[in-house]
Chain A
Amino acid sequence: MTEEKVIESDVLVIGGGMAGCFAAIRAKEQGLSVILVEKGYVGRSGATSLAAGLMVFNPDWGNKLDMCMERINSVGEYVNNRDWAEIIFKESYARYEELLSWGVEFNKDTNGRPITNSMGPGYSESLQLTRGQIALVLRKQLDASDIEIRDRVMITDLIKQDGGIAGALGFDRDSNGPLVFKARATVLCAGTSSFKPFAFPVSGLTGDGAAMAYRAGAEITGKEFNFTTRTSAERPAAWIANLRSQGVSGGAPALSKFKNVLGDELPGVPGVFSLNMEFETHAGRAPIYSERPDGKRTAMIGGAASGASVHMSEGIWPANTQGATSLPGLYAAGESYGMIPFGATYPGGGMAFIAAAVSGARAGLGAAEYARSVNTPVLDGDEIVRLTALARAPLERKGGFSPGWVTQVLKNAVIPYFILFIKRGDRMNAALTMVEFMRDHLSPKMFARDPHELRLAHEAKNMVLNAEMKLRASLFRTESRGTHYREDYPRRDDPEWLAWVLLKEENGRMKAYKKPVPREWWPDLSIPYEERYPARFPGE
């Protein structure tokens, strides 16, 4: 009989990327004990280790807040949270200075100035990072702050008691028993969701944060939007190798035009995520080529990060701007936190990465303040037994379904462009029927041969849940907006859908409901529709 090991701290941080590291450092500065757990390895895991750019806003550099906000609001198609967007701009410089003081390096030009990919005069800077080192600098800073790091620990569930969160339970690669983390406050920074896409190296980002929060009763938002980035069709998985050969970040060189197989140029759209490639594909005009100014052509495909929403636009619904959620004791930051500062389409420019830093710092402070106001929780033995059984179940089974197979079957069911990107009610319902079967029949019967595969089993279970969330949110939003496009509802429906979709478990079922965007953030509805939304969707 395996005994659980109980590890206690004032604050528990789940996830060691930009958000989690800032949360941990901030909480530790308040004089509390902090443990940070990471499924992979802090410094080389997550999206943080891949980051190419960091947005910094500074009025002293000539950046203008109203210009930046106006762009965010229109690119985000007016469902962005302006409070969060402003906070991110205004606090970016302080986080940038902190990162510099810790030793983060930015690429510089021949005059020694940081290279910026700004949108133009007045807009915020997007400073280029030297690849691969910022996450290691963050790890070094955790060590310097005397924060305990536990790598290779996967959290499977939050521990809920008396309506609040008392910590989390998981397992590591090497020990037999479960690990029980008891904490006065927990900060969830587990990153974004994905379906282990074929291109973007984010296979560890399987929506664990939203999944465990949903199971604990939190509301989840933003699942209908999509991270539509693209990759080369010739070597789709070689995203990193392609970066090296192109010398820039992203899936295609800057200044390239996109052309369909007839040679027609695709219209540009505001923001970096657009569905243009999928529209052309749907019309039968693929392959789509990116063509450099020197004439070199590369066939491109979309869906390189399938399963993820727009950066920072998905996750646990915030209860305030200090990282709190609707569950006492649970805080969140980064891509596990549904701040939706950028709305329905991502504006680009390193904004997501600085948002992780800003929100991480706020959540760390919020969690520390909460932790100081409560006693150490006393854990309910029965609940620990239940969560332990759930965590270990795949290891206890002798047969069943392999996580690798369940993952592949899921990918085939939900990634095709005509389900994920070019949506329609009947196709989504068909996919949802399959996903419900996977949830009810495949997920509970997965077996794992070792702790490595145990992680894969829990990731597959969380990905099936993410698929259900994406489909239900997309079915509920009966309009098109940004990176959420429906053939059966091709127009933006402002009177009905200037709102956010929230998902919550009620009586064992996933329920969707909407929360309106505050009136003061609405666009002027007297402006003609085509002017309000210059980007046209097919079928409008």
Chain B
Amino acid sequence: MAIERIDPELCNGCGICVRICPMDVFRMDEKSKKAVIAYPEDCMLCEFCVLDCPKNAITVTPEKTAPLILSWG
């Protein structure tokens, strides 16, 4: 759903996705030295991560769902 996965086998830890995502979705994992999806709910499906990843490690799917409205979050 929206940003789906970073393939850890393909990710080379270059950090481009972490640097460029306009919605600040990614972080570098200190231990694995690879990019991880930290805030998937903020993905807006611009797909610049897919365009810019040199290893084609990133999957974005076309669906996005609205969160359920609970009381405060």
Which residues of A come within 8 Å of B, CB atoms?
40-41, 43-46, 49-50, 132, 151-152, 173, 196, 198, 201-204, 235-241, 400-402, 404-405, 408-409, 411-412, 452, 455-456
Q: Please tell me if the beta carbons of B73 and A402 are within 8 angstroms of each other in the complex.
A: yes
Contact of A202 among B44, B52, B64 (CB under 8 A): B44
A201-B44 contact, Cβ under 8 Å, with A41-B20, A44-B21: yes
Is the CB of B7 closer than 8 A to any CB of chain A?
no
> In the docked arrangement, what's the CA distance between A236 and B42, Å?
16
Q: Are A402 and B19 in contact (CB under 8 A)?
A: no
Would A405 and B69 count as touching, CB distance under 8 A?
Answer: yes
Interface contacts beyond A46-B22, A241-B62: sample of 6 additional A-B pairs, CB < 8 Å, sorted by A: A43-B20, A132-B48, A204-B44, A237-B45, A404-B67, A452-B42
6 contacts between A and B (CB under 8 A): A40-B23, A44-B21, A44-B22, A44-B46, A236-B64, A452-B39
A531 to chain B, nearest CB (A): 43
- In the complex, are the beta carbons of A409 and B69 less than 8 A apart? yes
Residues in chain B near residue A235, CB distance under 8 A: 62-63
Taking a contact as CB atoms closer than 8 A, the residue among B2, B21, B63, B69 that contacts A408 in the complex is B69
Q: Which one of B2, B20, B21 has the highest number of Cβ atoms from chain A below 10 Å of its Cβ?
A: B20
Shortest CB-to-CB span from A365 to chain B, Å, is: 28
Within the complex, the shortest CB–CB distance from A86 to chain B, in Å, comes to: 33
A132 touches B66 (CB 8 A): no
* Nearest residue, chain B, Cβ from A42: B20
Digit string of B23-65 for contact with A (CB within 8 Å is 1, else 0)? 1100000000000001101101111100110000000001110
Q: List, in ascending order, chain A residues with CB within 8 A of B66's CB.
A: 198, 408, 411
**For the side of the interface on B, what is the size category?**
20 to 34
For the complex, give the distance between the alpha carbons of A239 and B47 in Å: 10
Complex formed: what's the CA distance from A373 to B69 in Å?
A: 53
> Nearest Cβ distance between residue A52 and chain B, in whole angstroms?
14
Q: Are A238 and B45 in contact (CB under 8 A)?
A: yes
CA distance A238 to B54 in the complex (A): 22
Q: Least Cβ distance of B27 to chain A in Å?
A: 9
- Contact A44:B72 (CB < 8 A) given known A237-B63, A452-B38: no
Contact B44 A196 (CB under 8 A): yes
Q: Give the shortest distance, in Å, between B33 (CB) and chain A (any CB).
A: 18
| A405→B48 CA distance, assembly (Å) | 26
A198 vs B65: C-alpha distance when bound (angstroms): 9
Q: Are B73 and A405 in contact (CB under 8 A)?
A: yes
Contacts of A196 in B (CB 8 A): 44
Residue on B with the closest CB to A400? B72
Please name all residues of chain B whose beta carbon is closer than 8 Å to the beta carbon of A411 when the two chains form the complex.
Answer: 66
CB pair A41–B63 under 8 Å, yes or no, is no
Query: How far is it, in angstroms, between the C-alpha of A411 and the C-alpha of B23 when the chains are bound?
Result: 18
Question: Quick one: closest A residue to B69, CB to CB?
Answer: A408
Contacts of A50 in B (CB 8 A): 46
Cβ-closest chain B residue relative to A242: B62
Q: How far is the CA of A144 from the CA of B71 in the complex (A)?
A: 50
Give CA–CA (A40, B17) in the complex, Å: 12
Q: Are B20 and A404 in contact (CB under 8 A)?
A: no
Docked Cα-Cα span, A86 to B48, in Å, equals: 35
Contacts of A132 in B (CB 8 A): 48, 51
Q: Which residues of B contact A402 (CB under 8 A)?
A: 72-73
A434 to chain B minimum Cβ distance, whole angstroms, is: 13
A331 CA to B38 CA in the complex, in Å?
A: 36
Contact B72 A49 (CB under 8 A): no
Cβ distance A493 to chain B, nearest Cβ, rounded Å:
38
For B21, give its contact among A41, A239, A404 (CB under 8 Å).
A41
Chain A residues within 8 Å of B46, by CB = 44, 49-50, 201, 240
Checking A204, A236, A404 against B23 with a beta-carbon cut-off of 8 angstroms, the contacting residue is A204
Most chain B CB inside 10 Å of its own CB: which residue of A152, A196, A237:
A237
Chain B residues in 8 Å Cβ range of A44: 20-22, 46, 48, 52
CB <8 Å contact, A201 and B19:
no
- How far in angstroms is the closest Cβ of chain A from B72? 5
Complex Cα distance A198/B2, Å? 11
5 interchain residue pairs of minimum CB distance:
A238-B62, A402-B73, A237-B64, A40-B22, A201-B46
Bound Cα distance A325, B46 (Å)? 33
Nearest CB in chain B to that of A154: its residue: B24
A45 contacts B22, CB within 8 Å? yes
B64, closest chain A residue (CB): A237
Contacts of A40 in B (CB 8 A): 21-24
Q: Nearest Cβ in chain A — how far from B30, in angstroms?
A: 14
